Amino acid sequence: MATRELTGSEPNDAIRERAAVLRGIYAALEHEVHTETFEDRLKIQKEVYMLRLHPDLAPLLPFEYDMYIRGPYSTGLADAYYAKARPARVEVTARAAAYAGEVLGMDPWILEVAATLVEICAYNERFPEFTAEEGLEILLERRPRATEEDARRSLEILRGLAAKYPEIKLPAPCAPR
């Protein structure tokens, strides 16, 4: 997998470089970056969060995330998708592309719930006794719109992805047992 190193001396150069790589990844996956609506931007936030779980994609997507009301959110990613840039030439491995295809094809609501659950589990992974069940409880408290069925389906999808793509880095509480 090849990409250009971030070499900009000014912050705007780094943002444009990240924007080019982001657009290049989406182009390599034959997917467009849509940011016209709030729903588009929410979806790309969760897609990139989930894509970062794959070790071949993570170095290309160096965005920091914090938990917001609608799940994990990156201001750096927002800067990148608003920036004007031509797609960089990015090669994506077949395994990463297959995983990405599944993430990009997820129902937007389940994607949002799954990304939120991963972030909850990642934050609490430092507590060895923390379980996925506790993660589901926190998710349902933070996301009143989410049903228990949504939460369990998301966990099942995450574990299915981890079983199919063992190279992805799910936090221990979310990982298959």
Instruction: Output the pTM of the full model.
Output: 0.90
Q: Are 90 and 3 in contact (CB under 8 A)?
A: yes
pLDDT of res. 11 = 54
**Residue 4 pLDDT > 90:** no
pLDDT of res. 84 = 86
pLDDT of res. 6 = 44
Q: Which residue has the higher pLDDT, 12 or 136?
A: 136
Question: Which segments of 66-113 are extended strands (E)?
Answer: 66-68, 71-73
